[in-house]
Amino acid sequence: VLLEFGAFSGLIGGTIGFFIEHFPGIEFFAVSIFIVTYHILSDFTSLKVRTKASQSVNNLLKLQPSTAKVLRNNKEEEIPVEELNISDLIRIRPGENIPVDGKVAEGSSSVDESIVTGESMPVEKQTGDEVIGGSMNKSGTMIVKVTHLGEEGFLQKVAHSIEEARALKPGIILLVDKILKYYVPGVLLFSGLSILIWTAGDFLLTGHIDIVRGIFAALAVFVMGYPCALGMATPLAMIYGGGKAAEKGIIIRSSIAFQALKDAKIIAFDKTGTITKGKPEVTDIIPADGVDKNHIIIAAASVEYLSEHPLAEAIVNYADKNNLSLSRAENFESYPGKGIKAFIGHNEILIGSLNFLETKSITISDNIRQISEKIEENSKTVTGVSENTKLIGIFAIADTIKEDAKDAIKELKNAGLEPIMITGDNKQTALSIAAQIGIEKVEAEVLPDKKLHKIRQLQNPDYKVIMVGDGINDAPALMQADVGIAIGTGTDIAIESADIIIMGDSLMSIPAVYHIGKNSYKKTVQNLTLAFIFNGVGVPLAVTGLVNPIWAMVAMVTSVSIVLINSFGISIFKSEKKHETLYHSPERKKIQIDHLCFHRL
């Protein structure tokens, strides 16, 4: 509205200048042209940003090949991805992009997931590991079982989340929208007042009517009141913040999260899969006297290969990582909740808890028993292995803590957040893990439906609560929290329930997104303050007639420039170098998903 009034007023004034001598028609024309040109440039900039965003989403999806090499009837056949079915087996060779989401059925390789997670180092993939469509196979050949197709694919869901995020507005933007509803009528009122002052007011005081000055004052009010800086002030810092987050493999699905992060005081963590890797691993092997360590591994892994227990997978994976060839095990028997038995040649192999082995007449020495108790004090599971009624060694297996968990908690504490662990695991295990990473407050043995109530109890009108999780049991708590952060390696329902998605599994991304959100909001408030100061001072000043419309245009451009410099001139994330995880690959630079979120100019 103000654009139309300003442009048409300048046009009318310029036209009058053709017919009335000494009337400043050229200045009126200049203002009209300046206003329209500047508005067109602003719209062009906005269009470029939105177009770039759409292209970035498309480029992200183009990472997935259009064809796949499927294995059917013992033959390899290249077909369009659209013709794939769930559970199809596809072969991916070194240097090829993985066409769809799946799980490694055979082989192993290092996979470059940088474009998805922001992690610079390739990730080692083995049998049973999940792979993301669009990532690149770097070394070995893999047979992958298809698990998701079409819109259910990880990248498709990310692209959809990004599109949804653009439609969401945080409270501060809604507030600005409400202000603008009254702002335009207010500027029109001031414009009319300026004409009234320099016509009727001037006549009452001096007996003369200065119509030219009155029109100039009204035009200057239109220019000063044009809410370009005010309209750009709010989204620009959030656009930049969303970009910095995306560079680090973080998708901010809700722009409301920016404001909530700024007010956060408590951050609650799930344990399994969030603080820990969520996958049991062998941490220690203690051989009996005179027994070779590799002999224990081969014997145990050969038998465990026939089991589907999670601890069995940990032992088999350990053997695979150490490039040990397994033996053929036969006559497999399972004792649910206790252990397993099988034969390798004529040798009977028993695997299970030490108590189970004792029931099978296996002697456990006092030394092994003491070592076992110390291991269990560190929240690890002890699995014994016997061969022909003799104990040959024990395995210590645990869901290991992520390497960066301690550093992430320390960073969050330094930022003023109080970390809390909320887990369904037993208290001893929870306290042990919490102590190792620096979390003092622990809520253990919390059932899935009670996590939501725990978050609700923590919430307070004076501050916000962040919840970080990855599993189905975390979804209600993620939705209840003021900010829900899902680890991208977790379940679909957890990701769908979250405001922020960490595309990899690095916990250092959490302090990164906290700083980004907090500083983005700070920049937004600064921009709004600057814009309101300009409009609040400029409009009343223009009413006085002391500001020529040309200089009003210069002032408007200056205010917009200040907002731009404030948004982009200073790094939003002060500790950026410390947490930098962006992989500077050519593909990464080309995709530029840093501007996928919150494009609103």
Tokens of 140: 């070995």
State the pLDDT at residue 159: 64
471 in helix, strand or coil? coil
Amino acid 331: pLDDT: 94
73: left (phi over 0), alpha (psi -120 to 50) or beta: left
270 catalytically annotated = yes
Averaged pLDDT for residues 399-421: 93
Among residues 138, 74, 198, 181, which one has the least CA distance to residue 547?
198
Mean pLDDT across 446-468: 88
Chain-wide mean pLDDT for the chain? 79
Q: Assign 12 a pLDDT band (cuts: 50, 70, 90).
A: low
Q: Looking at the chain, how many residues does it have?
A: 601
Whole-prediction pTM: 0.66
DSSP 304: H
Distance of CA 132 to the CA centre of its chain: 16
Q: How confident is the model at residue 464 (pLDDT cuts 50, 70, 90)?
A: very high
Radius of gyration of the chain (CA): 33
Q: What is the pLDDT of residues 508-518, one digit of tens each?
A: 999 999 998 88
| Residue 417 confidence (pLDDT) | 95
User: Residue 229 pLDDT > 60, yes or no?
Assistant: yes
Q: pLDDT above 90 covers what percent of the chain?
A: 28
CA angle 489, 492, 493 (to 5 degrees): 125
Q: What is the pLDDT of residues 98-126, one digit of tens each?
A: 989 999 999 888 887 765 554 555 777 88
Locate the domains of the chain by residue range: 2-58+163-235+519-595, 67-99+101-147, 243-276+402-513, 279-401
pLDDT, one tens digit per residue, over 305-350 is 998 777 898 999 999 989 999 999 999 998 877 889 999 999 999 9
At 73-88, the pLDDT tens digits run 888 899 999 899 999 9
Fold classification of 243-276+402-513 is Rossmann fold (3.40.50)
**What is the helix, strand, coil percentage profile of the chain, to 5?**
50, 20, 25
pLDDT in tens, 531-578: 888 888 888 888 887 777 778 778 877 887 787 777 765 444 444 444
Cβ contact 274:363 at 8 Å: no
Burial class (CB in 10 A: 0-12, 13-18, 19+), 449: exposed
Q: Is the pLDDT of residue 504 over 90?
A: no
Most confident among 127-131, 255-259, 453-457 (mean pLDDT) = 453-457
The highest-level CATH class for domain 67-99+101-147 is: mainly beta
What pLDDT band is residue 302 in, cutting at 50, 70 and 90? very high
* 45 vs 398 pLDDT, higher one: 398
Catalytic residue, from 270, 474, 482, 499: name it. Answer: 270
In this prediction, residue 568 carries a pLDDT of: 66
Closest CA to 338 of 322, 321, 351, 325: 351
Tokens of 210: 């200065």
Confidence grade of residue 91 (pLDDT, cut at 50, 70, 90): very high
Tracing tokens 């998701």 back to the chain, one arrives at 148
Mean pLDDT on 441-465: 87
Look at residues 70, 433, 470 and name the one whose alpha carbon lies nearest to residue 274. Answer: 470
Q: Following CA atoms 275, 279, 284, 288 in sequence, which dihedral angle do they give, to the nearest 10 degrees?
A: 150
- pLDDT given for residue 550 in this prediction: 76
DSSP code of residue 328: P
- Residue 35 clears pLDDT 70, i.e. is over it: no
| Helix (H), strand (E), coil (C) string for 534-552 | HHHHHHHHHHCCCCCHHHH
For helices 25-62 and 2-19, the axis angle rounded to 10 degrees is: 150
Residue range 279-401, CATH number: 3.40.1110.10
Amino acid at 259: Q
Contact 423, 271 (CB under 8 A): yes
> Comparing C-alpha atoms, which of 416, 505, 429, 514 is closest to residue 469?
505
Q: For residues 438-443, give the mean pLDDT.
A: 94
Please tell me the predicted confidence (pLDDT) of residue 576: 46
pLDDT in tens, 128-169: 888 888 888 887 889 999 998 887 887 777 666 555 545 444
- For strand 441-443 and strand 418-422, is the pairing parallel, antiparallel, or unpaired? parallel
